[in-house]
Amino acid sequence: MTYIKHSWAEPYKIKMVELLQMTTAAQRKKALQAAGYNTFLLKSKEVYIDLLTDSGTSAMSDRQWAGIMMGDEAYAGSANFFRLEEVVREVYGYKYLIPTHQGRGAENILSKILIKKGDIIPGNMYFTTTRLHQELAGGKFEDIIIDEAHDPENEFSFKGNVDLNKLERIIKKYGAKRIPYISIATSVNMAGGQPISIKNLKELRALTKKHGIRIIHDMTRVAENAFFIQQREKGFNHTPIKEIVKQICSYTDGATMSAKKDALVNIGGFLAVNDWDVFEEARNLVVVYEGLHTYGGMAGRDMEAMAIGIGESVNDDHIRARVGQVIYLGNKMLSYHVPIVKPIGGHGVFVDAKKFLPHLTQDQYPAQTLAAEIYLDSGVRTMERGVVSAGRKANGENYYPKLELVRFTIPRRVYTQAHMDVIAESTARVYEKRKKINGLKMIYEPRYLRFFQARFEKL
Ligand code: F0G
């Protein structure tokens, strides 16, 4: 008997398509030069397959689009806000909701409320906007992720875990009073979309309880993290994603959310907390920075689409197909011997630019260079996540992160398996000619979050 593979496929079909522009090599060369070798500065019409980010780039469902028509565009007390509040309570379990225009809006408000000058904020690896808001509020970030997370080759199942010894040392050194909260991301973005385990979260909860320290959850990709728990953690094999998500949230005291990722909308976010005092302060500050506390920078229709998207995001079939597509691409890259971060993450494939271009030093921006070369080859747009993204310390010195990566981020429900094949083949072609690739020189550097607008020249 022949063995017939049992494939899975997406739990949806396509109702509308967006036509893409195909470009020639000559057009791409011109476009890249005009963009200063920074993929953030390309026009989207110059891009064929856009893997810059999974943020705000998802395809909404027919039900979400129907929700858009149900927008209650009242300045105050919109019906969509109350529905969103109900969904956040039901799905995530957080008591109080402050809507914001996107994740960093929530980070700003939270940092302003909880952080005082000289405070320390330990976290399981930094994220660009999160750390910057902590620093702007006078705090200092300390990395407490396990060492395995900094090693692209290490195949540990939960590379998002916190090293509790590192945390204990920090508590001992600074004292719990100077630590307003621990910042915990699910599906750690900068580590390659790596999950934290329930076991680690429970231990972290026990330790922080002892010291009276809050845990604030960056829940941007919590459902993807839950999928890895279901696949890999003992005892969760038959637990629905929805239950795992709620359990994760239950070990934390509040959350910032960029709904542009997991929650399947093009714009939106929130801050959610269990503590009335923090809520009261946040409800006051949101009016200053975002908008009234019942819209926080979003239209009523956006809140409705988000409420529906949150429900869809914790569906088992959805999340299996979503992460499954990322894993398909990662395995295809591995079959071409392209060096990637292992295990394959939840929201994208992260190519190890240090290994890919070992002849370049970190000051020649290997990941920035590789992202540019991939665009030149095929019009696929990716993102640098290395020394450029890491930026500079408060004292002006460069951060030199161990990870020098190019992120191939997969938007949710947008591209097909054939697109994944094209992406992997393009990367393999660039890999074949890697020895001939020269690095870059930075010729313009903005002060904050430089990766967005920096410009480069070929060396
Ligand atoms: N936290 C994480 C883990 C993120 O990945 C992001 C955004 C934010 C917070 C900020 O949210 O963009 O809604 O203000 N990440 C995007 C990315 C930009 O491409 O990874 P935002």
CATH of the domain at 454: 3.90.1150.10
Across the range 189-206, mean pLDDT stands at: 97
d(CA 115, CA 215): 13
HSE-CB of 151 using CA atoms within 13 angstroms? 9
* Model confidence pLDDT, tens digit, residues 237-249: 999 999 999 999 9
Q: Which atom of ligand 1 is nearest to the CA of 54?
A: 19
Same domain, 233 and 194: yes
Residue 2 pLDDT exceeds 80: no
Same domain, 375 and 452: yes
d(CA 31, CA 375): 10
Identify whether 75 is a catalytic site residue.
Answer: yes
Same domain, 164 and 203: yes
Residue-wise burial string across 122-141, b where 16 or more C-beta atoms lie within 10 A, e elsewhere: bbbbbbbbbbbbbbebebbb
User: Rounded to two decimals, what is the model's pTM?
Assistant: 0.95
Residue 17: inside a domain, yes or no?
A: no
Residue 3 pLDDT exceeds 80: no
Residue 327: inside a domain, yes or no?
A: yes
Contact 290, 101 (CB under 8 A): yes
**Helix runs in 9-102, H state only:** 25-34, 62-68, 79-91
Residue 13: inside a domain, yes or no?
A: no
Residue 6: inside a domain, yes or no?
A: no
Across the range 340-363, mean pLDDT stands at: 97
Assign 1 a pLDDT band (cuts: 50, 70, 90): low
Across the range 163-181, mean pLDDT stands at: 98
Same domain, 180 and 293: yes
From the CB of 269, is ligand 1 less than 6 Å away?
yes
* Model confidence pLDDT, tens digit, residues 8-18: 899 999 999 99
Across the range 164-168, mean pLDDT stands at: 98
pLDDT at residue number 4: 83
Mean pLDDT of the chain: 97
pLDDT at residue number 277: 98
Residue of 242, 261, 342, 412 with catalytic role: 261
Domain housing 193: 63-313
Same domain, 255 and 383: no
From the CB of 270, is ligand 1 less than 6 Å away?
no
Assign 396 a pLDDT band (cuts: 50, 70, 90): confident
Residue 363: inside a domain, yes or no?
A: yes
Same domain, 264 and 320: no
CATH number at 247 reads: 3.40.640.10
Same domain, 181 and 212: yes
Same domain, 179 and 93: yes
**Of 185, 187, 166, which Cα lies nearest the Cα of 120?**
166
Same domain, 41 and 92: no
Residue from 50, 51, 54, 55 whose mutation best tests the ligand 1 pocket (most atoms within 8 A of CB): 55
Total domain count, the chain: 2
Assign 29 a pLDDT band (cuts: 50, 70, 90): very high
Same domain, 303 and 423: no
Same domain, 334 and 308: no
Across the range 146-156, mean pLDDT stands at: 96
Q: Which of 295, 313, 331 is the last residue of a domain?
A: 313
pLDDT at residue number 69: 98
Same domain, 166 and 189: yes
